[in-house]
Structure 1
Amino acid sequence: MAQQQIRLEYDSLPAVMPSYLRAATTLSGGLSTGQTIPDMVAELRGREVRAEPLAKYRKVCGFSHAHHLPVTYPHVLAFPMHMAVMTDKRFPLKLLGLIHVRNEITQHRSIGADETLDLEVAVGGHREVAKGVEFDLITRVRDHAGDLIWEETGTMLSRQKSSVSEADKKSAKKQSKTDALADAEHTNEWQVPADIGRRYAAAAGDYNPIHLSPWSAKLFGFPRAIATGMWTKARAAAALEPELTRDAYTLALAFKKPVFLPSRARFGYTLTEAGADFALTNTQGDILHLKGDVRYL
């Protein structure tokens, strides 16, 4: 028998802080045998963009002022809905501890900063992988005419016991030590300050404690705070945006090793007819932080 869809409809954005409180007080979470993530959809119509938060986001991520939204900004607009879905009592996994492993954004056209947008966030089902279970958090943005203009798939990992074979687990652990930027046509160094997690949180509302301070990060097993993955993606997008010749494209990447704060990192890219290939490493080139590409539609 098909499982009934769970629908969450909002007249205004849900508050983020109650979601963090629910996340902090949820002590367990996991999928039991035969269980999966239920089919959940959250909707909000008529979302307007406020100028001040947008300006703050542009500044912290490196985007120049423009009449259109940064390609990663709709993620921020929908972030309170992400939190509400993943802290809903019917969502079976614990939010704190989830790892963002991949992210793919498709912008079908540039979005004006003055547009009113309809947002949809959906989740459901899972996949077993070497380190646990993965699921996709899908966000869709439509314009006033109902046309799909932006969509995102964020792939999340929940570490837990898995039925994936030992051979597959060993294969998943293998990682090349080759410098991912050895053939990059353009490279530059990023200075990643100690407070970038707090600054990004103030602009985007993402107050995950692993990004805020060494003390809060240590509670979750990290020696220091780490940069927010979606900040590194936005920073990469800001660096690439002036080089792109079209405004309809897919921007996809995989998050590899965390960027500890503070640190220096090396970003590089190569432009192609299809778009661009890019990566972020440490300054020595032997630690890969992220790797991705842009592909024109």
Structure 2
Amino acid sequence: MSPDVLVLTGPPSLPPLLARGALLSPLKRPGPDAEFPRTRLVLPGLRVDLARLAAYERVCGFPTGEDALPVTYPHVLGFPAAMRLMSGRDFPLPLLGLVHTSLSITRRRALTATGEYELAVHVEGLAPHRRGTQATVVTEMRTGDEVVWESRSTYLARHRTRHGADGPAGQEPVGQRPAGEGPLAEGPAGQERKPLPAVADWRLGGDIGRRYGAASGDRNPIHLHPLTARLFGFPRAIAHGMWTAARCLAAHGTPDQAVVRVEFRAPVPLPGTVTYAAEGGRFELRDGNDRLHLTGEVHPA
């Protein structure tokens, strides 16, 4: 059976969705066999606010003034619709503690900033994870009947499984925080490999979360101030996961036709210093002890 289609008249407002999701979180019973919303949300006739786009480009390090959308910007445009699905009563994973573990993007051609688009968002499904249950949310951007950009985001809700709550020994625990990215966490453990060559050290100010929140609309309290971050178990504010991904991709560069894969590994405390490293199509962000915050790959489509 095909999913229901709900046509939106405008982007949903994020603050009420975050509040609703937080209130409903204690009522959720996550599991890979749970029912999940089949609704496909569609937002037609979308045009980009050029002032907000310029602010996003500045805070993430993309070139400004060009008639082009950064490769990560459609995620920002589609995130309110994704949050509408994930904050709903019929979404089985609790929003509090949900973590963004990975992101994949396929861009089929360059996207203009002045174009008109149609966005569509749906939950593709649930899957078991060694630390709980994982949901995949798909966002598509179309011009006419052509899908020109597509992303898949995986979000993990930690809960006890038959393998235990913390997974196999030797793996670092997944960070927990409200979804809003939203959520940044340590992603699935990958193969151990030699650190990539360092390219630059980035000193991150304590205001990065506030600046990115103003540009993206994602004002999750754990990114804004140390005090609000402590309410959710973080000693300091942490950077948005999607800011770290965008900042790395701005430094790396992306072909017009590209496939991007990012795995979020550990939160980035603010303020702080991180090392951006890259070689060929791979890049990573790590701290002074070579602990990975993020890994990624870019390939021509």
Could you tell me the TM-score, scaled by structure 2's length? Answer: 0.87
Q: Does 1:148 align with 2:157?
A: no
Aligned position for 1:270: 279
Which secondary structure state, in structure 2, belongs to the residue aligned with residue 215 of structure 1? helix
* 8 Å Cα contact 2:238/2:267 also seen in 1: yes
Rounded Cα–Cα distance in structure 2 between residues aligned with 1:92 and 1:195: 34
**Structure 2 unaligned regions, length at least 5:** 173-188
Alignment partner for residue 207 of structure 1, among 213, 219, 224?
219
Deviation per residue, 1:95-148 (Å, 9 max, x gap): 1221001011111111011110000001042111111111111100001x2101
The 5 Å alignment of 1:135-214 reads 135-143=135-143, 145-163=144-162, 165=163, 169-170=167-168, 173=171, 180-181=194-195, 183-184=196-197, 187-214=199-226
**Structure 1 unaligned regions, length at least 5:** none
Rounded Cα–Cα distance in structure 2 between residues aligned with 1:238 and 1:33: 35
Which secondary structure state, in structure 2, belongs to the residue aligned with residue 96 of structure 1? coil
Aligned position for 2:256: 247
Deviation per residue, 1:182-201 (Å, 9 max, x gap): x42x5101111111111111
Evaluate the alpha carbon distance shift between residue 87 and residue 189 of structure 1 in structure 2; reply closer, same or farther with a 3 A threshold.
same
The 5 Å alignment of 1:75-86 reads 75-86=75-86
Shift in Å, 1:206 = 0.9
Rounded Cα–Cα distance in structure 2 between residues aligned with 1:258 and 1:133: 20
Rounded Cα–Cα distance in structure 2 between residues aligned with 1:280 and 1:33: 31
Q: Does 1:64 align with 2:76?
A: no
Rounded Cα–Cα distance in structure 2 between residues aligned with 1:168 and 1:93: 18
Instruction: State the identity %.
Output: 36
Which secondary structure state, in structure 2, belongs to the residue aligned with residue 126 of structure 1? strand
The 5 Å alignment of 1:1-297 reads 5-28=3-26, 29-31=28-30, 34-65=33-64, 66-143=66-143, 145-163=144-162, 165=163, 169-170=167-168, 173=171, 180-181=194-195, 183-184=196-197, 187-241=199-253, 244=254, 246-271=255-280, 276-285=281-290, 287-297=291-301
Shift in Å, 1:50 = 1.2
Rounded Cα–Cα distance in structure 1 between residues aligned with 2:249 and 2:220: 22
Which secondary structure state, in structure 2, belongs to the residue aligned with residue 279 of structure 1? strand
Which secondary structure state, in structure 1, belongs to the residue aligned with residue 36 of structure 2? coil
Evaluate the alpha carbon distance shift between residue 22 and residue 214 of structure 1 in structure 2; reply closer, same or farther with a 3 A threshold.
same
Amino acid at match of 1:158: A
Shift in Å, 1:229 = 0.4
* Root mean square deviation of aligned Cα: 2.3
Amino acid at match of 1:269: A
